[in-house]
């Protein structure tokens, strides 16, 4: 079975399509998903979605590109909001230098604060990093993210970044990008790092994998990410399913699977 380790299935744009999506997930053996919070104002929706669906878990955190005042969180708030049994991680948080430009001290401070909250809550950090490889890894190191563990979600980094993450005990999650023809560097990371550190995700509604590129994404399509990784590593889809699901529950150890 497969778990979509990072999606935004609680997003209002999926309302009305959920029965179809859940039945396609079942068909593709996708048995669970982590729906990730990007802003504090969205957290109540994220949490209630996860509480009303079996094997859907959620997180709490503020995306680096979220810029509304209400979403600036304190460590105490993040820790308090993470106590529900369905909240299994802190994030997504991190650095996004693609959509935002300097000065970005506020992004770096927000990221550090999330790592500190995760250590306090004893939950893993869900890391978003775009065009910010070195700063991301430096902030993870400076704030001892190895203590609470972390995943580099929607991995777009290079071998060097992957190596630093692995040495810190981190996990690497691949999205539909790994299926894109021009994603040669990401494919080379996906084929060479230890299988027991790999997660798969859709990050839906964005980034649909080939053969759905450009169309709307949903958690059932995580199977195409897993298939690509199997192909790149010359192993079976079943092996990728088994390993990535085991990895998901090892990292997000608070997530309880209901059979």
144 is in an annotated binding site: no
For residue 200, which of 157, 180, 158, 171 has the smallest C-alpha distance?
Answer: 171
State the Cα–Cα distance between residues 162 and 167, nearest whole angstrom.
Answer: 9
Closest separation in Å from C-beta 212 to Zn ion:
18
128 is in an annotated binding site: yes
By C-beta, is 203 or 241 nearer to Zn ion?
A: 203
Closest separation in Å from C-beta 143 to Zn ion:
19
Pairs from 118-121 (Cβ < 8 Å, separation ≥ 24): 118/78, 118/89, 118/90, 118/91, 118/145, 118/148, 118/150, 119/143, 119/144, 119/145, 119/147, 119/148, 120/75, 120/79, 121/78, 121/79, 121/82, 121/83, 121/90, 121/148
Q: Which of residues 33-52 bind Zn ion (CB under 5 A)?
A: 36
Closest separation in Å from C-beta 104 to Zn ion:
16
By C-beta, is 41 or 242 nearer to Zn ion?
A: 41
63 is in an annotated binding site: no
By C-beta, is 205 or 231 nearer to Zn ion?
A: 205
Does position 110 interact with Zn ion (CB under 5 A)? The reply is no
Helix (H, G, I), strand (E, B) or coil at 34: strand
92 is in an annotated binding site: yes
By C-beta, is 108 or 128 nearer to Zn ion?
A: 128
Determine the distance from the C-alpha atom of residue 191 to the mean position of all C-alpha atoms in its chain, rounded to a whole number.
19
By C-beta, is 201 or 241 nearer to Zn ion?
A: 201
State the Cα–Cα distance between residues 171 and 82, nearest whole angstrom.
Answer: 21
Give residue 66's region: left, alpha or beta (phi > 0; psi -120 to 50): beta
Stretch that binds Zn ion, among 26-34, 84-92, 176-184, 237-245 (CB under 5 A): 84-92
By C-beta, is 4 or 203 nearer to Zn ion?
A: 203
53 is in an annotated binding site: no
Helix (H, G, I), strand (E, B) or coil at 93: strand
State the Cα–Cα distance between residues 65 and 168, nearest whole angstrom.
Answer: 26
Q: Contacting Zn ion (CB under 5 A), which of 110, 114, 119, 128?
A: 128
Q: Which two tokens stand for residue 182?
A: 């021009």
87 contacts 59 by C-beta, under 8 angstroms: yes
Closest separation in Å from C-beta 152 to Zn ion:
10
203 is in an annotated binding site: yes
Stretch that binds Zn ion, among 32-40, 68-76, 108-116, 188-196 (CB under 5 A): 32-40
Does position 228 interact with Zn ion (CB under 5 A)? The reply is no
- Which residues participate in the annotated binding site? 6, 8, 92, 128, 153, 203
Point out which residues bind Zn ion (CB under 5 A).
36, 92, 128, 203
Residue set of the binding site for a divalent metal cation: 6, 8, 92, 128, 153, 203
């Amino acid at each position: 079975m497969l778990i979509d380790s990072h999606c935004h299935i609680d997003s209002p744009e999926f309302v009305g399509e959920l029965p179809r999506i859940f039945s396609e997930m079942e068909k593709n053996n996708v048995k669970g998903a982590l729906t990730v919070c990007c802003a504090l104002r969205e957290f109540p929706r994220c949490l209630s979605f996860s509480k009303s669906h079996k094997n859907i878990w959620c997180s709490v955190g503020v995306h680096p590109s979220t810029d509304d005042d209400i979403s600036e969180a304190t460590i105490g708030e993040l820790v308090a909001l993470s106590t529900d049994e369905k909240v299994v991680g802190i994030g997504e948080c991190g650095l996004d230098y693609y959509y935002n430009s300097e000065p970005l001290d506020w992004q770096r401070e927000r990221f550090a604060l999330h790592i500190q909250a995760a250590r306090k809550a004893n939950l893993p950090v869900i890391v978003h990093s775009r065009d910010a490889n070195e700063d991301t890894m430096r902030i993870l190191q400076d704030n001892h993210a190895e203590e609470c563990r972390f995943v580099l979600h929607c991995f777009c980094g290079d071998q060097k970044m992957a190596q630093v993450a692995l040495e810190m005990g981190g996990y690497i999650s691949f999205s539909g990008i790994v299926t894109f023809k021009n994603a040669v560097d990401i494919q080379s990371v996906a084929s060479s790092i230890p299988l027991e550190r790999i997660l798969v995700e859709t990050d839906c509604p964005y980034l649909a994998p080939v053969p759905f590129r450009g169309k709307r994404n949903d958690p059932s399509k995580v199977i195409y990410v897993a298939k690509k990784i199997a192909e790149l590593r010359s192993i079976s889809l079943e092996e990728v399913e088994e390993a990535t699901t085991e990895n998901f529950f090892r990292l997000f150890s608070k997530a309880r699977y209901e059979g």
